[in-house]
């Protein structure tokens, strides 16, 4: 495993982060990753050197299941708390106590305070290494949110703060508020960013590069599209293997399979043939080798074999030509973001 410093923090993490959003998640009545499967995946991640685990208070059915299973695994494996880096999140309505009440969502002080206590209890820990706001809260002043998060840092319940998806100007506003008010600021972001998705995230990533903020992208394989297991039908439709993401959600085709995405996939496959790797490994490596900010992809494999394949992305490097070929397929601008 390779390791890197997480942006401008003093914490060292594996070059891949293991994401647990499928733990206990029900899709059409089917649990995507059950308790036993979750344990096997965590074992595989840990035994291969991944020390960075990502979860959220709302992962699982009911909410909190993912955190609870991680906490049980940490205790059963007797892993020293200082050896693992754990990230969780807050914002969305939380149903872990039953039907969410009027204060069971958002980024107000009351909700954040309640959720951090539940998260720590389920994980069986005294602190989080990283606490993300899962989304921007239009109804709560960002000053209140940052003050509350700062209190958690100063109390030792949280080490660093992170922000997930939002507009670039909102991220900038939050950073400005922290600087002006003398509050803790965001050190890590978690946008959706991958080679196939050419939605405009350039402005957001430019802020991260300028402010030395680490980027931990979710969906780094475009929902599995960049594994190369999908085929294009003669009518332009997506032909997906049974049980794949493309068969589990109606959003897959609209979200990931643009004309540009197919061109990117061809470039990724070409590079994979050259370096004797899989398309998934090349796609992850392309993210890891972003040179304007620290990039640690969050991988959410469904099986230990898939996870071990993902981990193989640390075993090779891309040449400048190979990296640029994927960028060119994305119609990348001068900054290389797209």
The number of residues in the chain equals: 338
Active-site annotation holder among 59, 160, 204, 337: 59
Give the C-alpha separation, 233 to 301, whole Å.
26
Give the C-alpha separation, 111 to 105, whole Å.
6
φ, ψ (nearest 5 deg) of residue 104: -95, 30
Query: Is 204 an annotated catalytic residue?
Result: no
User: What b/e sequence results for 190-228 when a residue is b if at least 16 CB atoms lie within 10 Å of its CB, and e otherwise?
Assistant: bbbbbbbbbeebbebbebbbebebbbbbbbbbbbbbbbb
Give the C-alpha separation, 198 to 195, whole Å.
7
φ, ψ (nearest 5 deg) of residue 33: -135, 115
Contact 148, 112 (CB under 8 A): yes
Pairing of strands 186-189, 214-215: parallel
Q: Which two tokens stand for residue 165?
A: 């998806």
Burial of 2 (0-12, 13-18, 19+ CB in 10 A): exposed
Give the C-alpha separation, 259 to 263, whole Å.
7
Write out the catalytic residue numbers.
59
């Amino acid at each position: 495993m390779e390791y890197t410093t997480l942006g401008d923090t003093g914490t060292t993490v594996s070059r891949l982060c293991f994401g647990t959003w499928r733990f206990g998640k029900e899709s059409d009545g089917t649990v995507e990753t059950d308790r036993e499967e979750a344990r096997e995946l965590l074992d595989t991640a840990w035994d291969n050197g991944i020390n960075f685990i990502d979860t959220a208070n709302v992962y699982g059915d009911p909410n909190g299941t993912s955190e609870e299973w991680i906490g049980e695994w940490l205790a059963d494996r007797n892993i020293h708390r200082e050896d693992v880096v754990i990230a969780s999140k807050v914002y969305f309505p939380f149903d872990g106590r039953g039907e969410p009440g009027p204060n069971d969502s958002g980024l107000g002080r009351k909700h954040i305070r309640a959720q951090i206590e539940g998260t720590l209890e389920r994980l069986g820990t005294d602190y989080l290494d990283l606490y993300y706001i899962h989304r921007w809260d239009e109804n709560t002043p960002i000053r209140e949110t940052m003050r509350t998060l700062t209190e958690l840092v100063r109390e030792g319940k949280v080490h660093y703060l992170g922000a997930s998806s939002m507009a670039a100007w909102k991220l900038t506003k939050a950073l400005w508020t922290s600087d002006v008010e003398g509050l803790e600021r965001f050190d890590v972001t978690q946008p959706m960013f991958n080679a196939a998705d050419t939605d405009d995230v350039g402005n957001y990533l430019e802020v991260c590069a300028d402010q030395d903020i680490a980027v931990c992208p979710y969906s780094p394989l475009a929902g599995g599209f960049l594994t190369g297991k999908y085929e294009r039908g003669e009518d332009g439709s997506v032909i997906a293997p049974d049980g794949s993401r493309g068969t589990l959600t109606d959003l897959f085709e609209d979200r990931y399979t643009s004309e540009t995405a197919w061109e990117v996939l061809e470039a990724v496959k070409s590079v994979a043939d050259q370096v004797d790797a899989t398309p998934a490994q090349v796609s992850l490596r392309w993210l890891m080798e972003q040179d304007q900010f620290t990039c640690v992809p969050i991988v959410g494999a469904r099986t230990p074999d898939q996870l071990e394949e993902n981990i193989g992305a640390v075993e090779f490097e891309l040449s400048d030509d190979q990296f640029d070929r994927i960028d060119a397929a994305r119609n990348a601008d001068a900054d290389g973001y797209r």
